[in-house]
Amino acid sequence: MQASIGGRPVVSPVLTASGCSSFGQELDPFFDLASIGAVVTKSVQLRPRSGRATPRMAETPSGMINSIGLQGPGIEGLLADELPWLAARGAQAFVSIAGSRTEDFAELAERLRGAPGVLGLEVNISCPNVESRGEVFACNPDASAEVLAAVRAAADPAHPVYAKLTPDVTDIVSVARACADAGANGLSMINTLLGLVIDTDTMRPVLGGVTGGLSGPAVRPVALRCVWQVHQALPNVPILGMGGIRTGLDALQFVLAGAGAVSVGTAVFNDPSAPARIHAELAEALGERGFGRLADAIGYAHRAPEESSGRHGR
């Protein structure tokens, strides 16, 4: 399936999702990492981060809640170990970057210029597990625009820059528009929703971080709604859709809502070969519906019924 990320061609519209596949190496025994669109890395920051204290996760109905806290090796470790391994494997890396200041994001983008095997950058302005939880950039259009403008200016011109948005806002379209106007080449949505689970034995919050990010199929309708709304408002801005995708038909929903590619996240914990399986299932689902090309299906659900008559009609 021909697909593209910010105009750059990829071999599959199915990618991993940031935070759910580490840096890809652990999935290598389960499928060919070069056969998916890209490995979206765990968000990297300037310095190594320990992440939060445990417990870091709790299972929820059709999902989970986590408070990992962006544990990672920092940009030095990414450049020294992870990106060369992925490049040697023939896999593309869509590098997720995170920071607590605009300058952090810009510096990370600068450091990633010319790095081997990098498809582009996903700018994580929406992690619910950073220190200043009340100050997630993606809750504010101006703050989001500032970060995206800085990253676009600092990044390798060949690297598409995607803004990763949070659904925990009143109007996601205004944030999406601000990012696009600031130079974002595309939008990734959605990040996790902020949630809470309480242990009824201890009668305390389960997570060491108290609150955490909700993911999995439980959030899929929210994610689809976000993709729908943003594609409706900004039909020419590429969208990387994610949030609870577990099957090819789940992925198809995102494409029909307006996503040009999708990321598979929490499903990997359940099925480590999910990205390759979902690629095959999506290809089959498109064929069964008469779509010769993925591009013909992107945003299809927005068309008026008379436009969608004939082979594709339902």
Partner 1 sequence: MREKLGQPAPPPEHDPVQGLAVVVGSRPVSAYTELTLEAPDIADVAQPGQFVAFAVGGPTSAMLLRRSIAIAGVGDGRFSVVVSARAAGSTWLAGLRPGDEVDVVGPLGRPFPLPAPGTPALLVGGGYGAAALVGLGGLLRSRGHEVAAVVGAGDEARLCSVDELTEVAAPFVVTTDDGSVGRQGRVTGPVAELVSGAGVVYACGPMPMLEAVAGLATDRGVPSWVAVEESMACGIGVCMTCVLPVVGADGRSRFARSCVEGPVFAGDRVRFRDVGTLPPDVVGADAMGVAHTPAIEGETP
Residue number with CB closer to partner 1 (270 or 309): 270
The angle formed by the CA atoms of residues 230, 236 and 239, to the nearest 5 degrees, is 55
Q: One-letter amino acid identity for 127?
A: C
CB of 217 to partner 1, least distance (A): 8
Q: How many Cα atoms occupy the beta-carbon half-sphere of 295 within 13 Å?
A: 8
SS3 3: strand
Interface residues with partner 1 (CB under 8 A) are 20-22, 26-30, 42, 45, 47-57, 59, 61-64, 66, 68-69, 71-72, 74, 131, 204-205, 208-210, 216-217, 266-273
CB of 200 to partner 1, least distance (A): 12
The active-site residue, picked from 20, 127, 179, 226, is: 127
CB of 283 to partner 1, least distance (A): 19
Whether 257 and 231 have beta carbons less than 8 Å apart is answered as yes
The angle formed by the CA atoms of residues 211, 213 and 216, to the nearest 5 degrees, is 140
166 dihedral zone (left: phi>0; alpha: psi -120 to 50; beta): beta
Known active-site residue 127? yes
CB of 9 to partner 1, least distance (A): 27
Whether 175 and 169 have beta carbons less than 8 Å apart is answered as yes
Active site positions, annotated: 127
